[in-house]
Amino acid sequence: MRILITGGAGFLGSHLCERLLGEGHEVICLDNFYTGRKGNIAHLLSNPYFELVRHDVTDPFKFEVDQIYNLACPASPPHYQHNPIKTTKTSVMGAIHCLGLAKRVGARVFQASTSEVYGDPEVHPQTESYKGSVNPIGIRACYDEGKRCAETLFFDYHRQNRVDIRIARIFNTYGPRMLPDDGRVVSNFIMQALRGEDLTIYGDGTQTRSFCYVDDLVDGFVRLMNTLDITGPVNLGNPGEFTMLELAEKILAKIGGSSGLTFHPLPGDDPLQRQPDITLARRELDWEPSVDLEEGLTRTIEYFRTLA
């Protein structure tokens, strides 16, 4: 197949490009390099089945493709809050342009949605039927509401124009090729520990997240995309849930050194807890994560050591 990946030069996108090329597909990687890096896909440029296009998804685009994975959108809070209007435009206009293209060429289209559609959840763990608790005027809204609107557009194109859609709700994912300075907790803690700096805990560190290793997630993407008669949304994530203090302890135990902890104010609307219920993915996709946090952190630390 010929497959378009928007945001293909980013953290998740670059792993997906590799996986699909490895399966023998042609891949078109479209990216504006806001948070993506040519370095993430430089090793793919000599592959004749790989094409790189510098383009912004807020402008229309046309390609003859069989499948579209729409990943374009900054994912780290400091990056998506840097230009919040652009973040909403990227999610909403990017979705419209992917869906319009899918409609025109009859492609199947996948949306990288997020656990952020659940906001600061009152239901725990989060199931796909939970409608969420999002502050529409807070500092995370540009991302959360942009992604919620994208899901709405996906379902309306599906109902109105019979576009073949897949929606994954991705929970916190980490691994090699995260940007060392992207502000997300795993990359922050690892880089701080490698530099011998104190780890920055926001709030009291008792808030929780559930961390999925990138290879597991990408496998979930491909399974969801290629399963028939399913639209989603489907939660994809690792149900192992940890406080930020536990995460810091694990990283310090692996890296050693003299780092301690410093405490900083909790950013606005930061969710207190997050854990995916992956019953649906287990049943419909026969998918569940296989890399636990210990192993995933070891692999990720190895990668960050090569940068330090």
Catalytic positions: 143
Chain length of the chain: 308
x-or-dash string of contact with ligand NAD, 117-156, rule CB under 6 A: ----------------------------------------
Binding of residue 169 to ligand UDP (CB under 6 A): no
Cβ-based nearer residue to ligand NAD, 112 or 297:
112
Interacting residue with ligand NAD among 3, 4, 13, 157 (CB under 6 A):
13
Binding of residue 188 to ligand UDP (CB under 6 A): yes
Residue span binding ligand UDP (CB under 6 A) among the ranges 46-54, 124-132, 156-164, 183-191: 183-191
Pairwise CA distance, residues 56 & 59, whole Å? 6
Q: At what angle do helices 244-255 and 185-194 cross, to 10 degrees?
A: 30
Pairwise CA distance, residues 236 & 111, whole Å? 12
Residues 212 and 236: beta-carbon distance below 8 Å: yes
Cα distances from 246 to residues 19, 96, 188, 205, in angstroms, run: 32, 40, 15, 8
Interacting residue with ligand NAD among 19, 21, 58, 183 (CB under 6 A):
58
Q: At what angle do helices 214-225 and 11-22 cross, to 10 degrees?
A: 60
Residues 272 and 120: beta-carbon distance below 8 Å: yes
Interacting residue with ligand NAD among 88, 114, 207, 300 (CB under 6 A):
114
36 contact, one of ligand NAD, ligand UDP, none, CB 5-8 Å limit per kind: ligand NAD
Binding of residue 244 to ligand UDP (CB under 6 A): yes
Give the interface with ligand NAD as residue ranges (CB under 6 A). Answer: 6-7, 9-13, 31-36, 56-58, 71-75, 90, 112, 114, 170, 172-173
